Structure 1
Amino acid sequence: MRGLHLLGEWQACPSEIDALHHAEPLRALCRQVVEDAGLAVVGERFHQFQPQGVTGALLLAESHLAVHTWPEIGAVTADLYVCNFSRDNGDRARRAFAALREAFRPQRATEREIARGGEATPDAELLREWLNPDLGFFLRAGRRLAKQRTAFQELEVWDTPALGKLFRLDGSFMSSEQDEFFYHENLVHLPAICHPEPKQALVIGGGDGGSADELLKHPSIERVTVVEIDAAVIEMARAHLGAIHHGALDDPRVELRLEDGLAYVRRDRKHYDLIVLDLTDPGGPSAALYTPEFYSACAARLKPGGALSLHIGAPFVQPRRFAQSLLDLGSTFRCVRPFLVAVPLYGALWGFACASQTLDPRAFSVAEVASRLAARGIAGLRYYNAETHAAMLALPGFVRELLPAHAGENGCGSA
């Protein structure tokens, strides 16, 4: 049984791809990629679902390829196994798998490569996430502690050798206990320290509790409302991710609302000093939360002088997403400041943004930021400080090239 097993979860595939919707194009595509790679088809079966979607399999002399599509969410799963008993088919399998992925053109991809048989152990499994169709990131999996499929998504917690407990949603890396501070500290403190006295904060997503934990470090905070669509995320965080939230999910100042973030913002009549969009990447339940319409709804819930913060992707490997996010934010907010952090778990220099009608984080000197941190008694942070505040806002040339035309050199423009 010695062989190679390749598993893929591909999301946000373009809807115009026929193989997403129809059995015959999918059958032809699967046959083409395996035959071009030098694998032998000995049987096949494909089934068309109504009103949409396909499941299918090729029987190979070397083993099998199975594919399932969800056109309504632009998702595909693929399972390719080859036996290496009489010859090494590993490279053939990788070529076929890569060609299949390229045909579906996913914006997000998570893949695993598992050595079967021989001396393989569970520790040989790798967790992978593709940043774009040609570039990705992986780490050794270790041991899976929990897995659950909900009405919204698939949740997993892994205990990994490199990053400790690691949280994934739909195969995408969300947070880990060893490096979460790269993400949560900067997402929260850069806008929060610029606000003179933040009292009311809204977190959309953020069911792991990391953003709430950072907000509570500001002594003026009276209420943090966390709106999480999936109750299972909060329960899994309580069970496994205490090193990320430090009990914030059960702090009396934190209000948990289990509902859709878009619906909540549309009907909510409260106003906030800070809104933190602690979201998954665009796609699935979060797709509607990366739109000009949602940003406009959030702006209506901000108090004068308030600010919104969110992550907007990696400018080098996801330049279109990064640039479009800034353009969409700029359609509502007068001042949009991108800032950059290299997040280990995300495998890239990651983009964030602070958006406001009046608050400009670049207007604060190093001395002013240091003074506010001291006055609020915020100490012991592992990334954010007065110097990194300024450094994150300094943009390399290739990032400046992605800024909307109206932003000018400084990154702030008029709505």
Structure 2
Amino acid sequence: MQGLHLTADLYHCACESALMTDADTLARLCRRHTLEAGLTLVDEKWHTFPDFQGQPGGVTGMLLLAESHLAVHTWPERNGVTLDVYVCNFQEDNSRKAEALMKAIVEAFRPSDMQRQHLNRGDVDGPADAGELVLEDVAGQAYFGFRFERRILNRQTAYQRLELLESATLGRTLRLDGRYMTSEAEEFFYHEALVHPAATAHPAPRNALIIGGGDGGALEELLKHRGIERVTLVDLDGEVIDAARRYLEKIHRGALDDPRATVLVEDGVAFLARTSDRYDLILLDLTDPDTPAGPLYTPGFFRRCKHALAPGGALVLHMGSPFHQPEQVRELCGTLRGQFAHVRPYGVHIPLYGTYWGLAVASDALDPDTVPGETIHARLEERRIGDLEYYNARVHGALFALPNFYRRLTAN
């Protein structure tokens, strides 16, 4: 049973069309790369589906290997492919062969985007740990994961794959499009770091906007500030909000139904284009730039955010991992500096994300790194904010004390 299971979901493939629609062409390619990888072909089965509504049908097929199998499914109408390679490692380690086979087939399809999973299967003496091991990669460079005893939800919304899992360690955990978003046990690392540095540095925030954040965690942190009169939360995917209301009360703590909160299911770009309100704080609590949230990381959108800020207001967003995604972080800082007078990067380790994570406050007036710790402490006291697990006056300054590599990465 011991083995390695590799999967890949390929998007926007630029290969020759026959690979997507002709079983013989795809079978020849898979046989060749399987043998070149040193694996042993036992049998095979391939099928081309008929055309449907003017679109060519895809191909599904499998090679049975002495070591286990290769499975391929194509969706020519989406230029998408799913791949599945499993090899047994009981008598010898076939992992390198499996990796070589996967690499060769992926390169043949020439995807512009890809999601991969790497799973070790079948301990010799039975499962060493209970539950499902759910792995994630950081920018395709590093893998990390957690075990979950239960899946509560696993469905495709109109915009993304929504998963809700549960474990004794993390509690209920939200994933979107195969990426960890938040969990009951450690959500405070991200939500407190996203909200409180800018909100506490601001002398009197009253009106705030959150774009994204359908789990309600950032909203709950904002509403801790006495003086906040209104928060508008705009999330594209209503199913995320519905799932949070039903299952993630320990994260939002009822904030989604607080009378000071207005929760809208709407595109953030469209909302900013029509609103005439001005906000003391705008928080972009989004999925990553390579997801449907991509248009909200652009110069045009940042310009709209700046226009919607009240005097002295600030924009806050997360940027990704400075170590694993340096170009993304550098480009986002540069884009923000093209719009705002002050851009202050900061960072925090987030257990669920498996790495040190970059965030930034952008403003024409507010620089949270220049606010003394004594002032931060006094404001936390005045606003009676005591229910915090991570953030405090000393941590405030530490968040902006950047490691040298991150300072160089985000230097002017």
Q: Under a length normalisation based on structure 1, what TM-score does the superposition of the two structures give? A: 0.86
Letter in 2 for 1:78: L
Change (3 A) 1:341 1:85: closer
Partner residue of 1:230 out of 217, 231, 237: 237
Partner residue of 1:93 out of 93, 98, 119: 98
CA distance in 1, matches of 2:9, 2:330: 23
Partner residue of 1:134 out of 126, 137, 141: 141
Q: Does 1:203 pair with 2:210?
A: yes
What is the deviation of 1:97?
Answer: 3.8
CA distance in 2, matches of 1:31, 1:200: 61
CA distance in 2, matches of 1:286, 1:365: 35
Cross-structure match for 2:367:
360
What is the deviation of 1:189?
Answer: 0.5
Cross-structure match for 1:398:
405
Q: Is the 8 A contact 2:280 2:310 kept in 1?
A: yes
What is the deviation of 1:101?
Answer: 6.1
Q: Does 1:18 pair with 2:15?
A: yes
What is the deviation of 1:242?
Answer: 1.1
Q: Which runs of 5+ in 1 are unaligned?
A: 408-415
CA distance in 2, matches of 1:71, 1:353: 39
Q: Does 1:57 pair with 2:61?
A: yes
Q: Does 1:318 pair with 2:319?
A: no
Cross-structure match for 2:186:
179
Structure with bigger gyration radius: 2
Letter in 1 for 2:70: H
Q: Is the 8 A contact 2:336 2:343 kept in 1?
A: yes
Cross-structure match for 1:79:
84
Partner residue of 1:259 out of 262, 266, 270: 266
What is the deviation of 1:40?
Answer: 3.5
Change (3 A) 1:344 1:181: same
How does 1:106-255 map onto structure 2 within 5 Å? 109=115, 111=117, 113=119, 115=121, 119-120=126-127, 123=130, 125-255=132-262
What is the deviation of 1:116?
Answer: 5.9
Q: Is the 8 A contact 1:10 1:101 kept in 2?
A: no
CA distance in 2, matches of 1:39, 1:76: 22
CA distance in 1, matches of 2:354, 2:32: 32
Change (3 A) 1:4 1:392: same
Q: Which deviates further from its counterpart, 194-203 or 82-91? A: 82-91
- The DSSP-based 3-state class of the residue aligned with 1:158 is strand
- The DSSP-based 3-state class of the residue aligned with 1:281 is coil
Q: Which deviates further from its counterpart, 59-68 or 339-348? A: 59-68
Change (3 A) 1:286 1:31: farther
- The DSSP-based 3-state class of the residue aligned with 1:144 is strand
Q: Under a length normalisation based on structure 2, what TM-score does the superposition of the two structures give? A: 0.86
C-alpha RMSD of matched pairs (Å): 3.2
Change (3 A) 1:390 1:64: same
CA distance in 1, matches of 2:284, 2:13: 30
Cross-structure match for 2:44:
43
What is the deviation of 1:106?
Answer: 7.2
- The DSSP-based 3-state class of the residue aligned with 2:292 is helix
Change (3 A) 1:71 1:172: farther
What is the deviation of 1:359?
Answer: 0.5
Q: Is the 8 A contact 1:326 1:403 kept in 2?
A: yes
Q: Does 1:292 pair with 2:307?
A: no
- Between the aligned residues of both structures, percent identity stands at 41
Q: Does 1:308 pair with 2:319?
A: no
- The DSSP-based 3-state class of the residue aligned with 1:6 is strand
Q: Is the 8 A contact 2:348 2:399 kept in 1?
A: yes
Question: How far does the alpha carbon of each residue in 1:78-109 deviate from its partner, in whole angstroms, 9 at most, with x for none?
Answer: 32334578876555435534665688687774
CA distance in 2, matches of 1:247, 1:91: 50
Cross-structure match for 1:8:
7
CA distance in 1, matches of 2:271, 2:221: 22
Q: Does 1:272 pair with 2:279?
A: yes
What is the deviation of 1:155?
Answer: 0.5
Change (3 A) 1:5 1:366: same
What is the deviation of 1:329?
Answer: 1.0
Letter in 2 for 1:18: C
Q: Which deviates further from its counterpart, 35-44 or 353-362? A: 35-44
CA distance in 2, matches of 1:75, 1:211: 35
Q: Is the 8 A contact 1:21 1:52 kept in 2?
A: no
Q: Which runs of 5+ in 2 are unaligned?
A: none
CA distance in 2, matches of 1:133, 1:374: 43
